Structure 1
Amino acid sequence: MAKIEKPAKTDKPVKKEKVKKPGFLKRSKMFLKGVWAELKKVTWPTKNELMQHTSVVLGIVFILTLVVYVMDVGLGGLLALIIK
């Protein structure tokens, strides 16, 4: 087995060089360029696909609303019977 040597400790702390980051406007410009590049990669839905997906979502929301309403009315009536 080889012996692993530890680096020698020095009394002086190692100074890290400060890296100057770009200004706010340059960072904003770089961010917006990145956003635009990612938006170019997006596969956008067609009008028909968008309508189909929207109708599915609205249908599910309607059904779940009815389920929650029925449960609320049912549990409310049950609680009213228990409290009386």
Structure 2
Amino acid sequence: MAAQETAVQGTTSRWKKFFREVKAELKKVSWPTRQELISYSGIVFVSVITVSILIWLVDSLFNELLHLILR
């Protein structure tokens, strides 16, 4: 029974250490300002839309080429 208690205490202390270290690392992070976050989000949104349109165009082109080949 003592071995189980020791194992549980060891596991608990490892989790506590893990979360302490996570908290310490998060304090080191350089978080963006609200304006930077809005700007970066806009850039990501425009990039996703642009790449989506390009993929759609290439897919449409290949679809038409395939139809021409199979006719």
Q: What's the TM-score, normalizing by structure 1?
A: 0.73
Structure with bigger helix share is: 2
4+ aligned runs moved over 6 Å, structure 1: none
In structure 1, distance between residues paired with 2:18 and 2:61? 52
Determine which structure has more spread, i.e. the larger CA radius of gyration: 1
Which of 15, 38, 53 aligns to 2:40? It is 53
Task: List aligned pairs for 1:62-77, cutoff 5 A.
Answer: 62-77=49-64
Task: List aligned pairs for 1:1-84, cutoff 5 A.
Answer: 23-84=10-71
User: Equivalent residue for 1:6?
Assistant: none
Percent sequence identity is 36
Alignment: residue pair count: 64
* Structure 2 gap ranges (5+): 1-6
* Structure 1 gap ranges (5+): 1-20
Q: What's the TM-score, normalizing by structure 2?
A: 0.86
